[in-house]
Structure 1
């Protein structure tokens, strides 16, 4: 039996943290934001991807855990490379959630206690509720949704920053 030597990589490979959220809109073009009980700003429904889970599956799971509903999660709108000093490397995904039916709205509950409430917010008012980089990401996701595109971002911007 032949034996092969396996060399350790010259560097220590790391895995970027990944999170996925859903962009839900209403008939007036407002975006659903949720108020987490553990953050000081509003967010879209979603959360971290678990080991072995795809971002799309994580998005569906997080919506179910946070809102108690199981809407169809649609196509990828945005993939954003968004590392931070605090959290390190991060890859963030936004998927199309579409418009919820009246029955789905009536069924919304906050079973895991992570969310205290939700509201639909006009795009021009997002900055009053959440952080700038999320406003950029949501704005890009809404533009991608309307144009039928998927966008790659770096820190919320379509244009790459030159190092």
Structure 2
């Protein structure tokens, strides 16, 4: 490995999705291995795109294969224990009643799922995920794609 390669970042990548119900509540899953709720998604595997990883994780976790929409958020989120991460958040759109009836949760990883109003997110999940989901909801509403660092818009000093 040369000096240049030694300096290169090798971040883990993960991809998640925002699904909504008919009254714009967001879907959160309840992982059995975490003490907070999360969005459907997971790590990107070698050779897999973030979009394909997102679709695969939804299929594995919820047992459904809805169309995954456009990219809403990219969040650089380093973690002291796990290293650098780049997290992608996609728009899953409306998860209608028919699709919800077909949901079969992955029992060995999830205790359940439900839809929640955005204002309840801070009591249900961790702050950086609340920031990412909130940014995703705004990006979905205004048609933008947002870049975040630690779930927040970056600030770069300029002259």
TM-score tier by shorter-chain length is: over 0.9
Q: Find the residue that maps to 1:52 and give its secondary structure.
A: coil
1:9 aligns with 2:18: no
TM-score, L = length of structure 2 = 0.93
TM-score normalised by structure 1 residue count: 0.91
Partners of 2:22 and 2:96 within 8 A in 1: no
Question: Does residue 133 of the first structure (1) align with residue 133 of the second (2)?
Answer: no
Change (3 A) 1:48 1:112: farther
Equivalent residues, number: 156
Larger Rg: 1
Select 1:19's aligned residue among 5, 14, 18: 14
Which residue number corresponds to residue 142 of structure 2? 147
Name the structure 2 match of 1:57. 52
Task: Show the counterpart of 1:120.
Answer: 115
For residue 93 of structure 1, the aligned residue among 65, 88, 92 is 88
Of the candidates 105, 110, 113, which is equivalent to residue 100 of structure 2?
105
Q: Which runs of 5+ in 2 are unaligned?
A: none
Q: 2: distance between equivalents of 1:99 and 1:87?
A: 33
Q: Alignment partner of 1:138: what SS?
A: helix
Alignment root-mean-square deviation, CA: 1.5
C-alpha spacing 1:161/1:136, structure 2 compared with 1 (3 Å)? farther
Distance 1:78 1:160, change over 3 A: same
Unaligned runs of 5+ in 1: 1-6
Deviations along 1:23-66, one digit per CA (max 9) or x if unpaired, are 00112121100000111110000000000000000000000000
Q: Which residue of 2 aligns with 1:71?
A: 66
